[in-house]
Chains A and B, each alone.
Chain A
Amino acid sequence: MGTDHILPKRIYYGIFAILMVGTAITVVASSVDLTGITLRILTFPLKLLPQTSLSYRWSHAAAIIAGGANTIVALAIAVLKATLVVLFFMHVKYSTRLTWAVVLGSVFWLGIMLTLTMSDYLTRAWQTFG
């Protein structure tokens, strides 16, 4: 077949190694509290700038983000792992544009479902955050 891309085996071994390391990092990171360090990084700019009403809002938002830091890290690693599987194990990197359109379309529609629904549920208690 003219459109074949036979990848060298070392690519598969390399992706496998990254997936295994990613799994190990996920497990280790889940037992470490990342809230404090994330909060310190996010609020660092406030120490350099003069205190304004914006800094109050910023520190509020930083506290919310930092509270979910462990989940954000776990999901970021999962997304990276999934992307590598799709691109290399599933050969999408070497597929036709039509296949790319379907792959990206499925992620896009998933994004619509998650984003629009959560934009409702996550903002129902908005007054709590002032």
Chain B
Amino acid sequence: MPEAVHHHHPALAHHFDDLGQQSEAATLGMWVFLATEVLFFGGLFLCYAVYRGWYPDAFALGSHELDVTLGTINTAVLITSSLTMALAVHAAQLGQRRLLIILLLATMALGATFLGIKSIEYYHKFAECPATRVYLHLPADNEAGHACHVPGPGFTFEPVEHARHAQIFFSLYFLMTGLHALHMVIGLGIMTWMLWWSRRGTITPEYYSPIEVSGLYWHFVDIVWIFLFPLLYLIGRHGH
């Protein structure tokens, strides 16, 4: 007598009762990871809070040396990418595979735009600085009077009495936006993976947890920027 054939969804792992339980476990697991990420970035925000509390004037002056227009555009780009990501999950839930692929591509394009604008900002800072121009293969001689806002031995800042503390601001600026950008790069990698799974048909209305969970990561990175933008670009603009 043949054994009863046990039919189940190919995506269902054997240690789960059903796909509902499996997707709840995936969401919960992702949130536990994001909780560690909250504290990871939280340590840097705490560092920022302590130093800004000590040196509010230097932080405000340092903030004025960042490009508010590019920062604002990037905030809008990232929020739009969160919309396309949310709509991608929606398309996955409804089994609209073509739309899902288009929305994942749109999310990736917006993420790449963000990184492009961010690298323009970094490029300006490194190209301005006499000490770091060499890394960009630019002629070492620079018109006099250009400040170097890249933390390190070549760092300069006007007014000079705030230079040491402004360097702390720029260290935090490069560290926090750099770590955020690294998360964006990882996010683009995850989206490439999801694009592949969507194309080959792994993602279905019964099994879209991978898209949902990738979306949680993408939105988290957006939230980090929602705090970074006002804290780095917009401080002390009203008084000067």
Complex Cα distance, B229 from A26, in Å, reads 10
A51 to chain B minimum Cβ distance, whole angstroms, is 30
CB within 8 Å of B: which A89-108 residues: 89-91, 95-96, 98-99, 102-103, 105-107
Complex Cα distance, B45 from A113, in Å, reads 10
Given A85-B219, A89-B219, CB of A113 within 8 Å of CB of B42:
yes
Chain A, residues 30-49, CB within 8 Å of chain B (1/0): the string is 11111100000000000000
Interface, chain B (partner A; CB < 8 A): 19-20, 23-24, 27-28, 31-32, 34-35, 38-39, 42-43, 45-46, 49-50, 53-54, 68, 72, 75-76, 79-80, 82-83, 85-87, 90, 93-94, 206, 212, 215-216, 219-220, 222-223, 226-227, 229-231, 234-239
Q: Are B46 and A114 in contact (CB under 8 A)?
A: yes
Complex Cα distance, B54 from A42, in Å, reads 25
The 7 A-B pairs of least Cβ separation, nearest first, read A106-B35, A30-B234, A74-B230, A33-B238, A16-B83, A106-B38, A1-B20
Q: Are B68 and A117 in contact (CB under 8 A)?
A: no
B176 to chain A minimum Cβ distance, whole angstroms, is 14
Q: Are A26 and B94 in contact (CB under 8 A)?
A: no
Q: Can you offer 25 A-B residue contacts whose CB atoms are under 8 A?
A: A7-B90, A9-B90, A13-B83, A16-B79, A26-B229, A30-B237, A32-B238, A74-B231, A82-B223, A82-B227, A85-B82, A85-B226, A86-B219, A90-B215, A90-B220, A99-B28, A99-B31, A103-B35, A109-B38, A110-B42, A114-B45, A114-B46, A118-B49, A118-B50, A121-B53
Chain A, residues 1-37, CB within 8 Å of chain B (1/0): the string is 1111011010011011001100100110011111100
The number of chain A residues touching the other chain, given as a range, is 35 or more
Q: Are A31 and B238 in contact (CB under 8 A)?
A: yes
Q: Are B39 and A113 in contact (CB under 8 A)?
A: yes
| Contacts between chains A and B (CB distance < 8 A), count | 139
Q: Are A33 and B39 in contact (CB under 8 A)?
A: no
Chain A residue, CB-CB nearest to B222: A85
